[in-house]
Each structure stands twice: as structure tokens, then as C-alpha cells.
Amino acid sequence: MDRLIDAGLEQLANTTIRMGELAYRTVSLSLRSYVDNVDSYQQVCDQSDRVVLMQDQAEDMAFELIARFQPVASDLRVLKSYMKIAYDFARYSRYAFDISQVQKRLDGLEECDDWIRRSIGEMSETVLSMVRTSVDSLKSHDAKLARTLSETENHVDEMYFKYLDRLIETAPATNRCTISSVLVVRYLERIADHATYIGESIIYLATGEKVALR
């Protein structure tokens, strides 16, 4: 027999999944616009604001369920997990907005050497795949898929530090490209971190196991 709280938990799950899909589209738009030097600032800004609004809605739903139904321990685990995941999805969108701001002010990669464009393009695709994996694993509560985020995040860290090392060796002086690219690779590294946090929450949601994927 369904409990009264179950409908609310399902609604919270659906809201969080929709939020994840919108966050993915926002990150994707921001990254592709940066790499291709396309102005999508306003669209990214609007979508990012929508994701943050959805985070507030998800938190309100969770608190209402706690207040109305006095959830048992397993329900509290679910509520806690969805609240944390919603926060990390919101962080995706805010970093996407930050990247869009950099592109708007500093013209993306237009003035950069080919190796810089290739490096950031590769890192962008890898991070975007992590965002996609985090959303897909949430949809299916797939703890095994969520665990794969750890290895990919390690790869992103390697790409990040390799890029900084090469930039230090080859950049003749501080210029718009240097400033822009360093900011963006840092945002990409942070998005990758939040993907692993989501993976940890999904594993806890699905199995009750607390793990560290970083």
C-alpha cells in the first residue's frame, strides 16, 4: 500500500531530474559557445536562473515532506540525497554562467593558440560527459554508473594540471587568452568535482553506503 509521503517523494525525484536535464543543457550551451566563440550569454543566464529557482523548489518540497509526514530513516536518506543533488545541479548552472561571462568579456578562445583550443575542447567534452553521467545515474539510481565518475574526475584533474603546466611554460605574457582559459579550466575542474559529489549522493540514495569518489 502506498504511503502518503510516497507521492511527494516521487514529485521531488521528478523535479530534481528535470533540474539535472536543464543544468546539463545549460553547461553544454555555455561550453560549446565558449569553444566556438558564440554569444549565448543571455540564454545561459536565463537557464541558470531557472535551475537555481528549481533548487529552491526542491528544498521547499523536502522540508514540507519532513514537516507533514515525519519520515522514517530511509525516507530521510532519500530527502537528504535529493537536497544535496539539487544543490550540486545548481552549482553546475552557476559555473556555466561564469563561463558565459568569461566568453562575453574576453571573447572565448578566438585569440588563443591551437593547442589551447584543443586542450579546452577536450576537457570540456570530458566534463560534459560527467554531467551527463550524473543525470543518467540519478534517473536509474545506478550506483555502479555513479562510481565511474571517480575515474573520470581523476582524468579531468590530470588534464587541468597538465594544461596549467604547459601554459606556464609557453605563455609569453598575461593576455586575454591566458586569463580567459585559466578561469574556464578552473570552472571545468569544479564542475567535475560536483559531478562526483552527485555520484556520492546517488550511491547513498540507492544503497545507503557513504563513499568518497574523490
Nearest one of 173, 8, 159, 180 to 82, comparing CA atoms: 8
| Cβ–Cβ under 8 Å, residues 88 and 201 | yes
In angstroms, what CA-CA distances link 81 with 17, 61, 142, 153?
Answer: 13, 13, 14, 20
Q: What is the pLDDT of residue 214?
A: 81
Rounded CA separation 202/62 (Å)? 16
Which sequence spans correspond to the domains of the chain?
Answer: 4-207
- Which letter does DSSP use for residue 108 in this model? T
Quick one: three-class SS letters along 14-61? HHHHHHHHHHHHHHHHHHHHHHHCCCCHHHHHHHHHHHHHHHHHHHHH
Residue 200 confidence (pLDDT): 96
C-alpha cell at 37: 566563440
pLDDT tens by residue, 96-107 = 999 999 998 887
Nearest CA among 122, 126, 148 for reference residue 137: 148
What is the pLDDT, as a whole number, of residue 148?
A: 97
Average pLDDT per consecutive 10 residues, the chain (214 residues; last block may be shorter): 86 97 98 92 97 97 94 94 97 97 85 90 97 97 97 97 91 77 95 97 95 90
pLDDT at 172: 64
Supply the DSSP symbol for 173.
S
Give tens-digit pLDDT for 118-161.
Answer: 999 999 999 999 999 999 999 999 999 999 999 999 999 999 99
Q: Which fold has domain 4-207?
A: Methane Monooxygenase Hydroxylase; Chain G, domain 1 (1.20.58)
Could you tell me where the DSSP H helices lie in the chain? 4-36, 41-69, 73-106, 114-140, 143-170, 176-207
What pLDDT score was predicted for residue 1? 54
d(CA 79, CA 86): 11
Instruction: Return phi, psi of residue 193, to 5°.
Output: -60, -45
